[in-house]
A and B are shown apart, each in its own frame.
Chain A
Amino acid sequence: MTPLRGACNAARRSLVYRRATSASRHFASLHAGPANQSSVNPDEIAHFSKLSQAWWDERGEFGLLHKMNPVRIQFIRQKMLEMRREDGLDDVNMARPLDDMDVLDVGCGGGLLCESLARLGGRTLGIDASASNIAIASLHASADPGLTSTRKGNHTLTYEHTSVEDLLAQRGPKSFDVVCSMEVIEHVDNPAAFLTNCATLVKPGGHLFLSTIARTPLSYALTILAAEHILRLVTPGTHTHSKYINPDELTDFFLRLDSDPASQSAVADPPEVRRPWISRLYGSVPARTEAEMRGIIYLPWKGEWMLVPRGAAGASAWAEACNYLFWVRRPFE
């Protein structure tokens, strides 16, 4: 699993929000709160711009990220189809489950996820804090007539060099049916603010997809000890283990996040009036219609990532071990 960290780390830098100055800060202390921080670090952006040419080199630094992409999409696809059935919509387009939806990818990097989201039918917007990432992503998409034209259906793909805070200010809340942010929050300076902003952009009944790394001894061994200090695949200091986020911490955040994150008064509302994103847990697991997490593991002998199947023996242990995907749905109003 180790080499993948190398690729993903560089990828994660794509979304470089200012690094924590204090490594001791803990996500567990996270509270839903005001979200007006803009936190883009110019040094990191410059560093990343040098790497941006490599985004689409599938055998290069980002090779393992390319391989991770199908698994992310697989999860998004499964979840979207499942929820459409849940909502009683029979006219599900299996080939294009994001048809006619507004989709946002926060921290899009070279556009790996965005292109796939657009192919599944979403009107996709990718944003990134690095201008050169946006340039590379736009250049790559321009080669593909399926992404730039509106020949079949109406899917389009656009990119914008901006931050999630600025986008929220520009577009206003409830703008997207689907918001994705992959391998980002463990690099964000203020994850609570970041998550609140992402959540605010989601339309009621819309979906938020995240992926990140759990804070476990295993993830320390693989992503920091092995990848950074032993194999030197990644510059030491790239990761901060204390910033990794455990699944139950995310669950906990959305147990407390109000259905309308933008409304400040909600925090003060009496408990019987509040409607959080996750209403309750069933033996530490949220209802499958509200939130779900799935582990993903790299199988080096196959050279592929795998989405740990639901109900597989120890599935939750896998999710909690290292890399995982997280989905949560904003309640309808």
Chain B
Amino acid sequence: MATSVPQQSDIVIVGGGPAGLALASALSSQPAIRDTLRVVLVEASDLSKVRNWNDGPSTFSNRVSSITNASQAFLQEIGVWAHVDEGRTCPIEEMQVWDGVSDARITFSTQDDHASFLPDASPQSQMARLTENLNLQRALLRHLDSNRTVELVDNVKVQSIVREEREGGGWPLVHLSDGRVLRARLLVGADGFNSPVRAYAGIESYGWAYNTTAIVATLFHKPRTSFQAQNTIAYQRFLPTGPIAFLPLSPTASSLVWSTKPHLAKALLSSDPAVLTSMINAAFRLPEVSLRYLHQQILDSVSNGALISSQQLREEISWRGRSHHIDPRSAYSLTADTEGVPPEDADALPPVVTSIQPGSAAFFPLRFSHADDYIGDGAGARTVLVGDAAHTIHPLAGQGLNMGLGDVESLFNCIHKAVTNGGDIGSRTALLPYARERYFENHKIMSACDKLHKLYSSTSEPVVWARSVGVEVLNELDSVKAAIMLNAGSRSSRTPPSGRQIGANFAADAVESIARSVAGVSTLTTGVAGLVGEGLQRVLQTVANSQRR
């Protein structure tokens, strides 16, 4: 077993999550790649669970992602979207985001996408599409099963990765738990936060754990009435403990992503589900001061071992509502009669949650991390990282999966280009455009989300003051808005350039690239330095030196 003959493979993908499966799917969709490269995907868990996933129409998985239009266009292009059960997805047509302290509110909808007024743009009917991760993964597997060009090896662990001993640089040898050894021209790490491929490549990752936990759950509620818009609005309220988000899945079900302090998350999940339900409703409605009080009540009840009953909590909440003079006819009131004509401000808040899908509530810690490089070098050559192996992000803008799909699309294009030009797809030259394209792009989104998180969890008085006044908030919200609307691709611009545009594109591209490189030099001191053109760097150095003299 130990001395089994290595199997030659062109691409070995470690990890069968959305990013790994999407890369395999993209590669299998392209004839030039399909005919020339041998692709193997290794996954430790049993993929048949995903393949046979078949939840009923009224229950939903608690892990969901808002697939941006750009991501969706890519999935359509490679033939995957046709396998997604669209009946289980939900378009997001509007987002409402507001500050938990000052109530400063910003709404963005498809009409805000100014770029859609460009002559060649077709109007967008959605900003993103909320999709269960399992729905997407199953679609990817169905796509791979239909063309059978990628070898899927599941229920098999990667035991070790070693470098082949060979003069002039060996290839990675991937030892599997079934005794096989794969010799990889290119080893792709789609193996998540604790990436073994990243460890093999010797790529450091910087980051930190936020003292924050995300609670996820599938929420049930009454359908919107015919007087209202359908359940297609996503809501997010920024509380000092973290943002709470309500993401629509169907007329009567929505998904929760609530970032909060770890001890509070633990207390909430160990309480009666009805308590969690009431607290979710309160978290979208009550003033921050009352929420803080209620959180303390929950924490006390858990530490005293005398759990608060849902009845007690409801009474407490309605008393607090009255004492804040919340108009009982307003949507903010939790005592209001929910039958009949809805209150005028109903669209400003998510529908009242009536129950939580049993077993759907869960929590996980949040962290920020970004690999120092996406491409292995030297002893770790012939490796590349995608998705969570390269970056993990605060979920407040819902961009984690989309960033992974963006990586996949870019890497796929690089591989395709290298194959077309007879290149070695494991070479740094072939992979460098991927790192250049994605590193700064991801960094921007990650920084914006991190900054936002820090801003809202700060207790420093001037920051709280600025936030409560709303000035800073609106600025920051605008940057998120920009991140969501433009960077993250709510709009898909995938029209191939016409022949006569190429010259003009060349000029535009040059200008854009200069701007980007210069911005990169001035804002990023480490990390991307190696990505900026060696030529430009030298020129800048020369200029700097001559100025010093």
Please provide the chain A residues from 107 to 159 with a CB less than 8 Å away from any CB of chain B in the complex. 115-120, 136, 139-140, 143-146, 152
User: Of B171, B419, B532, B535, which is in contact with the most chain A CB atoms at under 10 Å from its CB?
Assistant: B535
Determine whether the beta carbon of A301 is less than 8 Å from that of B513: yes
Kindly identify which residue among A63, A77, A231, A306 contacts B421, using a CB–CB cutoff of 8 Å: A77
Determine whether the beta carbon of B433 is less than 8 Å from that of A2: no
Q: Which residues of B contact A231 (CB under 8 A)?
A: 538, 542
Q: Which residues of A contact B418 (CB under 8 A)?
A: 70
- Closest chain A CB from B485 CB (angstroms): 26
**Does any Cβ of A come within 8 Å of B179's Cβ?**
no
| A56 and B169 contact, Cβ closer than 8 Å, known pairs A3-B538, A300-B535, A300-B536 | yes
A73 to B418, CA, bound (A): 10
Please provide the chain A residues from 296 to 315 with a CB less than 8 Å away from any CB of chain B in the complex. 298-304, 306, 309, 311-313
**Does any Cβ of A come within 8 Å of B441's Cβ?**
no
| Interface locus among B296-304, B332-340, B422-430, B488-496 | B422-430
Determine whether the beta carbon of B424 is less than 8 Å from that of A3: no
Q: Which residues of B contact A118 (CB under 8 A)?
A: 422
- Closest chain B CB from A28 CB (angstroms): 31
**Does any Cβ of B come within 8 Å of A59's Cβ?**
yes
A309 to B505, CA, bound (A): 11
| A117 and B422 contact, Cβ closer than 8 Å, known pairs A69-B429, A143-B168 | yes
Against B, the Cβ 8 Å flags (1 = close, 0 = not) of A224-252 are 00000001000000000000000000000
Determine whether the beta carbon of A139 is less than 8 Å from that of B427: no
Determine whether the beta carbon of A302 is less than 8 Å from that of B424: no
Against A, the Cβ 8 Å flags (1 = close, 0 = not) of B164-176 are 0011111100000
| A139 and B167 contact, Cβ closer than 8 Å, known pairs A2-B538, A73-B423, A299-B510 | yes
A111 to B429, CA, bound (A): 15
Determine whether the beta carbon of B423 is less than 8 Å from that of A70: yes
A4 to B389, CA, bound (A): 33
**Does any Cβ of A come within 8 Å of B417's Cβ?**
yes
Determine whether the beta carbon of B533 is less than 8 Å from that of A300: yes
Q: Which residues of B contact A70 (CB under 8 A)?
A: 417-418, 421, 423, 429-430
A312 to B503, CA, bound (A): 5
Q: Which residues of B contact A143 (CB under 8 A)?
A: 166, 168-171
Kindly identify which residue among B36, B166, B429, B514 contacts A152, using a CB–CB cutoff of 8 Å: B36
**Does any Cβ of B come within 8 Å of A269's Cβ?**
no
Q: Which residues of A contact B166 (CB under 8 A)?
A: 143
A309 to B503, CA, bound (A): 7
**Does any Cβ of A come within 8 Å of B347's Cβ?**
no
| A298 and B429 contact, Cβ closer than 8 Å, known pairs A73-B422, A95-B36, A116-B421 | no
| A119 and B422 contact, Cβ closer than 8 Å, known pairs A143-B168, A298-B535 | yes
Please provide the chain B residues from 418 to 448 with a CB less than 8 Å away from any CB of chain A in the complex. 418-424, 427-430, 432-433, 436
**Does any Cβ of B come within 8 Å of A94's Cβ?**
yes
| A302 and B503 contact, Cβ closer than 8 Å, known pairs A56-B169, A73-B421, A95-B419 | no
**Does any Cβ of B come within 8 Å of A289's Cβ?**
no
| Chain B, residue nearest A94 (CB) | B32
Q: Which residues of B contact A4 (CB under 8 A)?
A: 535
A312 to B420, CA, bound (A): 23
Q: Which residues of B contact A77 (CB under 8 A)?
A: 420-422
**Does any Cβ of A come within 8 Å of B227's Cβ?**
no
| Chain B, residue nearest A233 (CB) | B538
| A140 and B168 contact, Cβ closer than 8 Å, known pairs A2-B538, A303-B533, A309-B506 | yes
- Closest chain A CB from B529 CB (angstroms): 13
**Does any Cβ of A come within 8 Å of B344's Cβ?**
no
| Chain B, residue nearest A315 (CB) | B503
- Closest chain A CB from B538 CB (angstroms): 6
| Chain A, residue nearest B10 (CB) | A146
Determine whether the beta carbon of B421 is less than 8 Å from that of A95: no
A145 to B31, CA, bound (A): 21
Determine whether the beta carbon of B506 is less than 8 Å from that of A67: no
A299 to B509, CA, bound (A): 11
A70 to B515, CA, bound (A): 25
Determine whether the beta carbon of A95 is less than 8 Å from that of B32: yes
- Closest chain A CB from B199 CB (angstroms): 22
A136 to B510, CA, bound (A): 37
**Does any Cβ of A come within 8 Å of B35's Cβ?**
yes
A47 to B532, CA, bound (A): 32
| Chain B, residue nearest A147 (CB) | B424
Determine whether the beta carbon of A299 is less than 8 Å from that of B423: no
Determine whether the beta carbon of B535 is less than 8 Å from that of A120: no
Determine whether the beta carbon of B422 is less than 8 Å from that of A58: no
Q: Which residues of B contact A300 (CB under 8 A)?
A: 533-536, 539
**Does any Cβ of A come within 8 Å of B8's Cβ?**
yes
| A120 and B422 contact, Cβ closer than 8 Å, known pairs A140-B168, A300-B535, A303-B533 | yes
A300 to B166, CA, bound (A): 33
- Closest chain B CB from A119 CB (angstroms): 4
| A66 and B429 contact, Cβ closer than 8 Å, known pairs A3-B534, A77-B420, A117-B422 | yes
Q: Which residues of B contact A309 (CB under 8 A)?
A: 502-503, 506
A117 to B424, CA, bound (A): 11
Kindly identify which residue among A58, A64, A298, A306 contacts B428, using a CB–CB cutoff of 8 Å: A58
Q: Which residues of A contact B514 (CB under 8 A)?
A: 301
| A299 and B421 contact, Cβ closer than 8 Å, known pairs A143-B171, A312-B503 | no
**Does any Cβ of A come within 8 Å of B96's Cβ?**
no
Q: Which residues of A contact B170 (CB under 8 A)?
A: 143
| Chain A, residue nearest B32 (CB) | A95
| Chain B, residue nearest A116 (CB) | B422
Determine whether the beta carbon of A301 is less than 8 Å from that of B510: yes
**Does any Cβ of A come within 8 Å of B377's Cβ?**
yes
**Does any Cβ of A come within 8 Å of B236's Cβ?**
no
Q: Which residues of A contact B278 (CB under 8 A)?
A: none
- Closest chain A CB from B382 CB (angstroms): 11
**Does any Cβ of A come within 8 Å of B392's Cβ?**
no
**Does any Cβ of B come within 8 Å of A74's Cβ?**
yes
Determine whether the beta carbon of A303 is less than 8 Å from that of B436: yes
Q: Which residues of A contact B535 (CB under 8 A)?
A: 1-4, 298, 300-301, 303
Determine whether the beta carbon of A67 is less than 8 Å from that of B429: yes
Q: Which residues of A contact B185 (CB under 8 A)?
A: 144
| Chain A, residue nearest B167 (CB) | A139
A328 to B542, CA, bound (A): 40
**Does any Cβ of A come within 8 Å of B517's Cβ?**
yes
Determine whether the beta carbon of A145 is less than 8 Å from that of B8: yes
Kindly identify which residue among A67, A144, A152 contacts B424, using a CB–CB cutoff of 8 Å: A144
- Closest chain A CB from B440 CB (angstroms): 12
User: Of A116, A120, A139, A301, which is in contact with the most chain B CB atoms at under 10 Å from its CB?
Assistant: A301
Apart from A74-B421, A299-B513: 17 A-B pairs, beta carbons within 8 A: A1-B535, A2-B535, A2-B538, A56-B169, A69-B423, A70-B417, A73-B422, A77-B421, A95-B32, A115-B422, A119-B422, A143-B171, A301-B510, A301-B514, A303-B534, A309-B503, A312-B502
A-B contact pairs, 12 of them (CB 8 A): A3-B538, A56-B169, A70-B430, A74-B420, A95-B31, A95-B420, A115-B424, A139-B167, A145-B8, A302-B436, A303-B532, A304-B433
Would you list the 9 A-B pairs with minimal beta carbon distance, nearest first?
A300-B535, A116-B422, A119-B422, A300-B533, A312-B503, A303-B533, A70-B421, A73-B421, A58-B428
